[in-house]
Structure 1
C-alpha cells in the first residue's frame, strides 16, 4: 500500500471515484501517462491538438478533475493538459521528493518534454501555484504566461486553521468536513458537494506535512512573462495581503486581484483566466 493513503481499501475507493469522473468528463479527452524520474505522471488532455497549450497544476489533496468546469470552457480555445501532481490522490506516482529541492522543476521538465511542449502557459492553484511559480522562476524561457490562484510560497503560510482541524479530528466524517470548511472558507449551500468531496478524500488520504518554501524577492523578479495572480481576502492558509503586496512590488507588470470575502478556495474564475490566457 502507498504511504499516501490510510488503507488499500481507501485508495481503491478514491481511484474508483476518479474513474467515474473521467467517464463523465465534459469534453473529449486523451488519457496520457508520461514517464518521469518520479514515476508515471497522468495527464488529462483536452482541446484541439494544434491550439495554444496550457498546463494545469491542481492543489493539495486534489487531482486533475478539479479543473472539470474550467476545461469544458478552455478546451474550446486551448489545448489543456491537466496534470496529476505526483504524491497526490490522482493517477500519478505517489512519489514525494523534498519540496526544498530542484526535484519538481526536473519532474515538470520531463512532463513537458513528454508532452512535446517546448514552452506553455501555466495555471496553478495553491500547492499547484507554488509548483508553477517554482518552475517559472527556474525555467522562465519555457513559460509563456503564468496564472496563479491562491499560490503558496509568497505570503506567509498560516497555521491557525490546522489547530482547528486537529481539534475537529475526533468527530469523524463531520469533523473532517468541518475542517475542510475552515481551510477553504466555503460556507454556502452551493459549496456542499465540494466539501463532501474533500471530506471523503481526506478520510482516506494522508496530506503533505512539509511547509512550502518561500520564494525570495530575487526569484520573483525573474518572472518576465505575463502574470496574473488572484487571491482571496480571507484566505485561512496563506497571508493573501502579503502575497498581493510582494507580487506587486517584485513583479510590477503583473495583474493582481484580491477577492473580497473569499477564502482559500477560489471559484468562478473560468472566464477571467481564459481571457488572460488568450491574451
Structure 2
C-alpha cells in the first residue's frame, strides 16, 4: 500500500511539473498565440530565400531558430530587436545568407516561436541560453549581428571570455553605450508596450523609422499583434548601459552602425564605443532612424558584408 501511494504521489508530482512547464508565459491565451503565429508565418514569407525552422530543447525552454544559407558557410547569428522576432530580417536575409550559414534566433521571453519555462531570464541565464544553442549546432567563428535589444545582447555575449565569437555587428544597439538619447520621442514605444493600439503603433513607427510608410504592411501587422496579444513584460528594464570596464574586455572586431535620426542613440554613443572598444569601426547611416536595417537596408547590408568578409 505504501509503495502504491508513493507511485501515485510521484505520478501527480510529474503531472504538476509538466503542467507548470506547459504554462504560457508570453501570450495572453492560446487563441492570442494562434493568431500571432499566423501573422508571424505571413511575415516569414517575406524572406525570399529557402529556409528551415527548427525547435531545440534548452534548460530554459524551447528555442526557435530559422536557418538559411550554404551548409559550409561561416556562421552568422542574428539577434532581433525587442518584440521584433527573427522575421524582421526580411530586407537583409538575402544579402547576409549568400555566402554564410545564418541562424536567426527568436528571443525566449518575447513574442515569437521560442517558448520559455520562466517569465524572464537573468543576464547569466541569457548567456547560458545562447551558448546552449551555439553548442547544439557546434558553432565556432561566429559573427553576431544584433539590432536594438539584440545589439545589447550581442555585447553582453561578447564581454564573456568565449572563443566562439569572432566578430559582432551592432545595429543601433539599445542602452549599450549610453542611455536613451531622446526620451520624449522614444517613450511612445513604452506606452505601446503596456497600452497597445494601432494609433500608438503608428506614433512609435514615426518616431523610430525615417521611412515609416515604407514598412511592409504584413510585418507591421505582426508587430502590432506582438504588443496586443502578449502579456506585459518588464524585462526591458534589464537593459542598462555597459560600464567602460566591461566594454574594454571586448577585443574582437566590432562594427557599429547608427542612424542619423535615431531616437535611442546619438554621436555620443559612437564616441563612447570608439573610446572603449579597441577594435571598433563606427559609422552614421544617413536618412535612417532606429530601424536602420529597414530604413536603409541596402547600405546596411553592404556595410555588414564588407565587414564580415
Q: TM-score, normalised by structure 2?
A: 0.80
3-state secondary structure, aligned to 2:61: coil
Please identify the structure whose Cα radius of gyration is greater: 2
The match for 1:10 among 6, 23, 32 is 32
Q: How many angstroms does 1:174 deviate by?
A: 3.4
Aligned residue for 2:226?
201
3-state secondary structure, aligned to 2:283: strand
Determine if the alignment matches structure 1 residue 32 to structure 2 residue 54.
yes
Q: Residues 220 and 23 from structure 1, CA distance in 2 versus in 1: closer, same or farther, beyond 3 angstroms?
A: same
Distance 1:188 1:58 in 2: 18
Structure 1 residues 17-166: aligned runs within 5 Å: 17-22=39-44, 25-94=47-116, 95-99=118-122, 101-152=123-174, 153-157=176-180, 159-161=183-185, 163-164=187-188
Distance 1:106 1:199 in 2: 30
Q: Residues 35 and 119 from structure 1, CA distance in 2 versus in 1: closer, same or farther, beyond 3 angstroms?
A: farther
Distance 1:3 1:137 in 2: 29
Determine if the alignment matches structure 1 residue 227 to structure 2 residue 260.
no
Q: How many angstroms does 1:22 deviate by?
A: 3.9
Determine if the alignment matches structure 1 residue 191 to structure 2 residue 212.
no
Q: How many angstroms does 1:119 deviate by?
A: 3.5
Aligned residue for 1:241?
267
CA deviations on 1:18-61 (whole Å, 9 max, x unpaired) are 23344564222222222211111011111111111111100111
Aligned residue for 1:179?
203
CA-based RMSD = 2.6
Structure 1 residues 192-201 or 208-217, which shifts more?
192-201
Distance 1:19 1:274 in 2: 27
Q: 1:168·1:178 contact (CA, 8 Å) conserved in 2? A: no
Distance 2:102 2:49 in 1: 11
CA deviations on 1:76-124 (whole Å, 9 max, x unpaired) are 110011111111211101444344x311111111010011113411100
CA deviations on 1:239-264 (whole Å, 9 max, x unpaired) are 33232111010014311012345321
Give the number of equivalent residue pairs.
Answer: 276
Aligned residue for 1:259?
285
Distance 2:280 2:289 in 1: 21
Q: 1:87·1:93 contact (CA, 8 Å) conserved in 2? A: yes
The match for 1:250 among 276, 285, 295 is 276
Q: How many angstroms does 1:272 deviate by?
A: 1.3
Structure 1 residues 197-206 or 186-195, which shifts more?
186-195
3-state secondary structure, aligned to 1:271: helix
Structure 1 residues 27-36 or 48-57, which shifts more?
27-36
Structure 1 residues 53-62 or 4-13, which shifts more?
4-13
3-state secondary structure, aligned to 1:229: strand
Q: Residues 65 and 148 from structure 1, CA distance in 2 versus in 1: closer, same or farther, beyond 3 angstroms?
A: same
Q: How many angstroms does 1:234 deviate by?
A: 2.7
CA deviations on 1:217-249 (whole Å, 9 max, x unpaired) are 11111211111001123322x233232111010
Q: 1:58·1:124 contact (CA, 8 Å) conserved in 2? A: yes
Q: Residues 24 and 265 from structure 1, CA distance in 2 versus in 1: closer, same or farther, beyond 3 angstroms?
A: closer
The runs of at least 4 consecutive aligned structure 1 residues that moved more than 6 Å come to 166-172
Structure 1 residues 105-114 or 198-207, which shifts more?
198-207
Q: How many angstroms does 1:165 deviate by?
A: 5.4
Q: TM-score, normalised by structure 1?
A: 0.88
